[in-house]
Amino acid sequence: MIIDRIENAYRYFALEPGIKMAFEHLLKTDLTAFEPGSYPLKDKIRMLIFDSEQTNTDRITMEGHRRNIDVQYWVSGSELMGYAPLQSQSLIAPFNEEKDYGNYEADASFTRFEPGMFAIYFPTDLHTAVTDEKCTSAVRKVVYKINIE
């Protein structure tokens, strides 16, 4: 997992060509002009736009992927993002191969993400979002899904 601010995105271009493409798209795109949804881009990259109100959950589960890197960027609002390295955690339900998605039981450490911040989650990184009680606005988050197969 990598946490940083958008002005430092160039530092991560060499990690994976799809990460560079995602950041280049992010930097030149008016993300407020899109409706929430999924937008296919080039070279196995998909952009997802999420608008959400803050909601607490009674149970925290961690999300993990096997074939995708997530580049998540906060346009507005803030969230607490949980992270745990994927080790021997238990899946809560069978892994969804078609959607490349699994929910795990795991203990997480949390970081507050605010506008202008991003996270890169690799297949070895479990992650989850929970309410930031200090947030007073709706959250707009952009997630680039980068298929690395």
Backbone phi, psi, residue 72, to 5°: -110, 135
Owning domain of residue 87: 2-147
State the chain's mean pLDDT as an integer.
92
pLDDT at 54: 59
Cα first-last separation, the chain:
19
Alpha carbon 82 to its chain's center:
11
Q: What are the respective helix, strand and coil percentages of the chain, to the nearest 5?
A: 15, 45, 40
pLDDT tens column, 24-79 = 999 999 999 999 999 999 879 999 999 986 555 556 789 999 999 999 999 999 99
CA dist 8 and 14 (Å) reads 13
CATH (domain of 112) = 2.60.120.370
Q: Is the dihedral of CA 125, 122, 23, 142 positive or negative?
A: negative
| 50 token code pair | 């999420």
Count of domains forming the chain: 1
The whole-model pTM stands at 0.93
pLDDT at 138: 84
